[in-house]
Amino acid sequence: QQQVKQSPQSLIVQKGGISIINCAYENTAFDYFPWYQQFPGKGPALLIAIRPDVSEKKEGRFTISFNKSAKQFSLHIMDSQPGDSATYFCAASGGTGGFKTIFGAGTRLFVKA
Amino acid sequence: GAVVSQHPSWVICKSGTSVKIECRSLDFQATTMFWYRQFPKQSLMLMATSNEGSKATYEQGVEKDKFLINHASLTLSTLTVTSAHPEDSSFYICSARVTSRLYEQYFGPGTRLTVT
pLDDT of B79 reads 97
Per-residue model confidence (pLDDT) at position A95: 64
Give the per-residue pLDDT at B103: 75
**CB distance B44 to B36 below 8 Å:** yes
Query: Over 90: is that where the pLDDT of A7 sits?
Result: yes
Question: Cβ contacts (< 8 Å) between B107 and chain A: which residues?
Answer: 36, 43-46
Choose among A43, A105, A106: nearest Cβ to B107: A43
The CA-atom distances, in angstroms, between B79 and each of A43, A50, B21, B64 are 16, 31, 5, 11
Q: Which of B46, B103, B114 to mutate to test the interface with A (most CBs of A within 10 A)?
A: B103
CA-closest candidate to residue A18, choices A87, A65, A79: A79
Helix (H, G, I), strand (E, B) or coil at A78: coil
Cβ distance B43 to A32 less than 8 Å, yes or no, reads no
Residue range A45-85, pLDDT digits in tens: 999 999 999 999 999 999 999 999 999 999 999 999 999 99
Q: Does B4 touch chain A (CB under 8 A)?
A: yes
Smallest Cα–Cα separation from A48: which of A21, A70, A29, A82?
A21
Question: How much is the pLDDT for A97?
Answer: 53
A93: closest chain B residue by CA: B103
Give the tens place of pLDDT for each residue, B7-61: 999 999 999 999 999 999 998 888 889 999 999 989 999 999 998 888 899 999 9
- For A:15-44, CB contacts with B below 8 A are 32, 34, 36, 41-44
* B110 neighbors B90 (Cβ within 8 angstroms): no
Among partner residues B41, B103, B112, which is closest to A93 by beta-carbon distance? B103
pLDDT band at A11, cuts 50/70/90?
very high
Burial B33-51 (b: 16+ CB within 10 A, else e): bbbbbbeeeebbbbbbbbe
Query: Is residue A103 within 8 angstroms of chain B, CB to CB?
Result: yes
Are β-strands A30-38 and B57-58 bridged in parallel, bridged antiparallel, or unpaired? unpaired
Which has the minimum average pLDDT: A6-15, A26-35, A61-70? A26-35
Average pLDDT, chain A: 93
Closest residue, chain A, to B113 (C-alpha) = A41
Which of B105, B111, B112, B114 to mutate: most A Cβ within 10 Å? B105
Q: Residue A106: closest CA among chain B residues belongs to which residue?
A: B43
Q: Give me the pLDDT at residue B97, please.
A: 86
